[in-house]
Amino acid sequence: MTRKIDGKIVAFKVKSQEQEAPQAAAPAQPAVEVEHMHEDMQRPEKLLGTTYKLKTPEHISEHSLFITINDVVLNEGTEHEVRRPFEVFINSKSLEHFQWIVALTRIMSAVFRKGGDCTFLVEELRSVFDPRGGYWNKGKYVPSLIAEIGNVIEQHLTEIGMLGKPEVDEHQQAFLEAKKAELEGKTEEVEESGNFPPSATLCYKCHNKSVIVKDGCQTCLNCGDSKCG
């Protein structure tokens, strides 16, 4: 193929054979297979476990409950590495609650191994109320022993990253700190939960006995919930 040059030649360049040859297509990157939790997954020989000690008032249970949650690590060593609960065990010297504890742990373990979002278990357990009434444990109202087990499950799921920690903005945190500072020195008696005045009432949001009336407004010193918005 010829080409007529109408203008003045001001520069030139010689093409190499590499430039003339068509560039080879880049090799396709193999698709990364991300492993997810599913019910057909075989139990690994070794799992990471965390044990929580749950001490309740003596009229609920004379002995402590030890809740062990074993986790499996998926996609270990990759950017998709996650830690997911695989099974749960609850042990106690007391045999009073043996039957329903065994049933509860088997159901929860089955939900864990099913895969997907298992965080709904927390609210389901925490919504169980004892018909005989709840109890106070370390200054916090607990509607039932099952609800307190739900609190432990929530703590574990938060630690492994499945649940986010409740956020309090800096202005709200500063407001709460100012409220606590105003109360310091006015009373020597504090609740077992830590630095809440004995006149504080129950917060129906976080279940702590930490609601006070300040400037005509009911405010929770623990979670910041306020009737005044």
| Cα–Cα distance for residue pair 146/163, rounded to 1 Å | 19
pLDDT digits over 140-158, tens only?
889 999 999 999 999 999 9
Range 2-16 average pLDDT: 72
| Cα–Cα distance for residue pair 170/158, rounded to 1 Å | 21
- Give the domain ranges of the chain: 48-160, 196-228
pLDDT above 60: residue 8:
yes
| Cα–Cα distance for residue pair 101/89, rounded to 1 Å | 9
92 vs 226 pLDDT, higher one: 92
Residue 102: what residue type?
V
167 pLDDT band, cuts 50/70/90, is: low
Report yes or no: 137 and 152 within 8 Å, Cβ to Cβ. no
| Cα–Cα distance for residue pair 229/43, rounded to 1 Å | 49
Positive or negative, the Cα torsion across 37, 42, 44, 50? positive
pLDDT above 80: residue 225:
no
| Cα–Cα distance for residue pair 15/154, rounded to 1 Å | 67
Report yes or no: 108 and 178 within 8 Å, Cβ to Cβ. no
217 pLDDT band, cuts 50/70/90, is: confident
87 pLDDT band, cuts 50/70/90, is: very high
pLDDT above 60: residue 186:
no
50 vs 182 pLDDT, higher one: 50
pLDDT above 60: residue 82:
yes
93 vs 21 pLDDT, higher one: 93
Position 191 scores a pLDDT of 41
Position 183 scores a pLDDT of 59
Which one, of 132, 159, 160, lies nearest residue 145 by Cα?
132
Predicted TM-score of the model (pTM): 0.65
